Amino acid sequence: MLEPITPVHFLLLSAALLLVGTIGVLTRRNIVVILMSIELILNAVNLNLVAFSRYFGEPSGQVFAIFVITMAAAETAVALGILIALFRNRQTVFADEIDLLKW
Amino acid sequence: MSQFYTSTDHFVLVPAIMLALFGCAILLFDFFLFPEPRQRKWLLAFLVLGLVFTGVGLWRQHRFLAESGLPQITAFQGTLTVDGFALFFNWVFLAVSLVIGLMSYRYLEIEGEHHGEYYGLILLAQCGMYFLATGTDLITLFIGLELMALCFYIMVGFLRTQKRSNEAAMKYLLLGAFSSGLLVYGFSILYGISGSTKLSEISLAVANRDTWDPLVVLALITTSVGLLFKVSAAPFHMWAPDAYEGAPTTVTAFLASGSKAASFAFLVRMFAGPFESTRAVWEPLLIAVAILTLTIGNLAAITQENVKRLLAYSSISHAGYILLGLIAGNETGLKGVAVYILVYVFMTMGAFVVVTALRRAHLIGENIDDLAGLIHRSPGYAIVMLVCLLSLAGIPPTAGFLGKYYIFLSLVQTGHYLLAVIAVLYVAVAVYYYFRIVRAMFVAEAGPSVALASSFGVRVAAALTATLTLGIGIYPEPFLQLAQLPVMR
């Protein structure tokens, strides 16, 4: 017999996503990949929110998830804009080559 | 059944509406009405007008609270709460935006990146700050934080042809977005604990749980890492010196004053609200963070040659002092936090106004050497810088002393003697690096004289910040009453 899926399962999955995202942010060189890792973290958040919202039968968690998705889109837009400006001046997307300021 | 948009809701929302309205209006006017570069002064006028309208809205809230004797006005079913805490911080943000707007005009012309969007972004960032101080709901707080942060990412990278500005914006954005992600992960756990996004209900749910409940601890740790990133406390301060150095100087001033004050409003709201019952968990953590912040901020500042970078490390160390007030946590401590933030924004902006005036065409003017002999070249600005530096170091009769006094008093009252001793010792270190700048200004040989980039706005900003920095120290009574606001519950 299969066990029913409980909030704990979702919590574990989202914790795993958070971990993968955090490791990605800390170890990757390519800024685009770092941005993708940040998206992973935000998706871990969304998973949590929606799972809890279903568990409580209360809608505000889903509303929150929609706001998180919106903010993630806005943040990515600004990030790519800055990255393009940076690439025009430096011809690189690698975080460790951006070293004009002491990191 | 509750009404959808009551008059109370409107009353609470008016300042935010004004900020958003004028912010968007400036973006449109820049495009349609005032496309010529020399017409930009009208955009600055609109910024000031928007701040006046915001101020009227705040003043009406202030009067209402004072006359009715109510502790707070809640709106949108407890999503927004105007209490003394929110009012106090919103007054601070208003003053900050005004000074930043005034000092920016000439500087942006010199940098050759004078665009109308800048003034719109200031107002929109302040709109985010309004929700950070007023919000009592996780969703509202998150949106407010992101609105403010997005405006700041753009402003830090505003000099888009300069490599330093690009780099600063990129680093600030990556670490800022990462910390927001951790913060909102903590929020999702808090929602899971309580089944509600309202801070009041979360407080109850957290208080009902065991102090060392693993979910509560996870939420506490992820949320506080996110918050400590935002206030640039060590070990999460790495972004601050880079972002401060690379950003346009006026934006650095805004970042050091407005963004930091708003983040602290958020931090105090969270720690004195939902997390108050878990004090046993976070107090040792925050003590460690505060000591580390004071150590790194003060010791790293000693060797800096760039004034902006030096002030960045100094602002990190000030974050440590403000955290100490929160650690003490009694009424004096919270009042100390308020006084310190009030004082801190003015003295920091004052120092940055002078650095802004040093930037001239073909001259970056950010190094300590660039300040050499300033007293002979431009005595007025040298005096402003001196007042602000004395205040940053915490020497009476300037306002900085007052802030430190309340923090130390609260530490002694709550029996944190060792912390108080450490904090006082670091004041001595701070005096050393601030006086390196003072020595350069007053003792060092003056270099070739180039007139400072002064203008009416810069002079007003300098006079305002210096007067307040000195004034709060000499005649503190009205300002202490203002700082009493957040403590009244």
C-alpha closest to that of B348 among B405, B293, B302, B307: B307
Residue A52 · residue A33 · CB < 8 Å: no
Beta strands at B72-75 and B80-83: parallel, antiparallel or unpaired: antiparallel
C-alpha dist (Å) from residue B259 to B147, B352, B376: 11, 15, 34
Q: Which residues pair with B198 in a beta bridge?
A: B137
In a domain, B47, yes or no: yes
Are the CB atoms for B249 and B359 separated by under 8 Å? yes
Structural domain that includes position B403: 7-483
Asked whether the beta carbons of B166 and B160 are under 8 A apart, the reply is yes
Residues A102 and A83 sit within 8 Å (Cβ to Cβ): no
Element (H, E) at B75: strand B72-75
Note whether residue B357 is domain-resident. Answer: yes
Inter-chain CB proximity B195 and A58 less than 8 Å? yes
CB contact under 8 A, A42 and B197: no
pLDDT above 60 for A103: no
Is residue B83, in this structure, part of any structural domain at all? yes
Encoding tokens for residue B102? 């005034």
B170–A83 CB contact, under 8 Å: yes
Q: What is the pLDDT of residue B397?
A: 87
As given in the structure block, the two tokens for residue B131 are 């929700």
CA distance A3 to B379: 78
Q: Determine the pLDDT at residue A96.
A: 82
Tell me the helices (H) and strands (E) count for chain B, helix number first.
Answer: 20, 2
Rounded to whole angstroms, the Cα distance separating B126 from B93 reads 7
DSSP state, B257? I
* Closest-CA residue to B456 (of B54, B92, B48, B23): B48
DSSP string, A50-73: HHHHHHHT-THHHHHHHHHHHHHH
* pLDDT greater at residue A96 or residue B56: B56
* Rounded-to-integer distance, Cα A66 and Cα A50, Å: 10
The Cα angle at residue B464 between residues B461 and B470, in degrees rounded to 5: 135
The DSSP 8-state label assigned to residue A96 in this structure reads G
**Among B370, B399, B207, B190, CA closest to A60:** B190
Residue B129 within a domain: yes
Short-list B48, B44, B14, B51, CA closest to B29: B44
Residue of chain A nearest B190, judged by CA positions: A49
- Which residues of B fall within a CB distance of 8 Å from A52? 188, 191-192, 195
The confidence score (pLDDT) of residue B403 equals: 92
Contacts of A56 in chain B (CB under 8 A): 195
What was the pLDDT predicted at B218?
Answer: 93
CB atoms within 10 A of CB B72: 15
The reply to whether B118 falls in a domain is yes
Task: Report yes or no on B489 lying in a domain.
Answer: no
pLDDT given at position B373: 84
- Report yes or no: B142 and B230 within 8 Å, Cβ to Cβ: no
d(CA B166, CA B135): 32
Separation of alpha carbons B389 and B383, rounded Å = 10
| Mean pLDDT, chain B cut into blocks of 10 residues (489 residues total) | 79 95 94 84 93 96 90 90 93 96 91 89 96 95 96 94 92 95 96 93 92 91 94 91 94 95 95 90 94 94 92 95 92 92 95 90 81 87 94 91 93 93 93 92 77 86 94 89 78
**Residue B43 near residue B34 (C-beta atoms within 8 A):** yes
The C-alpha of B103 sits at a distance from chain A's nearest C-alpha, in angstroms, of: 25
- Write the pLDDT tens digit of every residue in A28-52: 989 999 999 999 999 999 999 999 9
Task: Tell me: pLDDT of A58 over 70.
Answer: yes
Backbone angles phi, psi at B235, to 5 degrees: -85, 25
The set of residues, in sequence order, having a beta carbon less than 8 Å from that of B57 and lying 6+ positions away, is B14, B15, B18
Nearest to residue B28, comparing CAs of B141, B96, B119, B145?
B119
Mutation test of the interface with chain A: which of B166, B183, B187, choosing the one with the most A Cβ atoms within 10 A? B166
- The candidate with the shortest Cα–Cα distance to B391, out of B316, B471, B485, is B471
> Of the candidates B373, B338, B366, B382, which has an alpha carbon nearest to the alpha carbon of residue B481?
B338
Contact A85 B157 (CB under 8 A): yes
What pLDDT sits at residue B1? 46
* Structure tokens belonging to residue B109: 């012309």
Contact across the interface for A52 and B195, Cβ inside 8 Å: yes
Name the burial class of residue B132, with classes exposed (0-12), middle (13-18) and buried (19+) by CB atoms within 10 angstroms of its CB. buried
Average pLDDT, chain A: 91
Which residues of B are less than 8 Å from A18 in CB distance? 185
CB-nearest to B164 from A55, A78, A100 is: A100
Token pair 């911080």: residue: B89
The CA-based angle B465-B264-B12, given to 5 degrees, is 85
Distance from C-alpha of B266 to C-alpha of B136, rounded to nearest angstrom: 10
Per-residue pLDDT tens for B415-473? 999 999 999 999 999 999 999 999 988 888 776 667 777 889 999 999 999 999 999 99
B chain contacts of residue A58, beta-carbon cutoff 8 Å: 195-196
* Cβ-nearest to B167 among A44, A52, A86: A86
Task: List CB contacts (< 8 A) between B168 and chain A.
Answer: 101
Say how far apart CA B250 and CA B155 lie, in whole Å.
Answer: 10
**Closest by alpha carbon to B326, among B231, B250, B241?**
B231
Tally of domains in chain B: 1
Domains of chain A with bracketed CATH: 7-92 (1.10.287.3510)
Rounded CA Rg of chain A: 17
Element (H, E) at B73: strand B72-75
- Distance from C-alpha of B194 to C-alpha of B197, rounded to nearest angstrom: 8
Backbone φ and ψ for A37, nearest 5 degrees, come out as -65, -40
B195 vs A44, A56, A71: nearest CB: A56
- The DSSP secondary structure of B157-168, one letter per residue, reads T-STT-HHHHHH
A42 contacts in chain B (CB < 8 Å): 181, 184
Give the other-Cβ count within 10 Å of B368's Cβ: 18
For residue B215, report the phi and psi dihedrals to the nearest 5 degrees. Answer: -65, -40
CB contact under 8 A, A52 and B154: no
The CA distance from A38 to the nearest CA of chain B, in Å, is 6
Q: CB-based contacts of B312: which residues, under 8 Å, 6+ apart? A: B240, B241, B243, B244, B245, B252, B256
The answer to whether the CB of B31 falls within 8 A of the CB of B66 is: no
Task: Report pLDDT digits (tens) over B294-352.
Answer: 999 999 999 999 999 999 999 999 999 999 999 998 889 999 999 999 999 999 999 99
Q: B240: nearest CA in chain A?
A: A103
CB B123 within 8 A of CB B26: yes
Q: In this predicted structure, what is the pLDDT of residue B329? A: 86
Domain membership flag for residue B1: no
Q: Are A90 and B166 in contact (CB under 8 A)?
A: yes
Give the tokens for residue A69. Answer: 């998705």
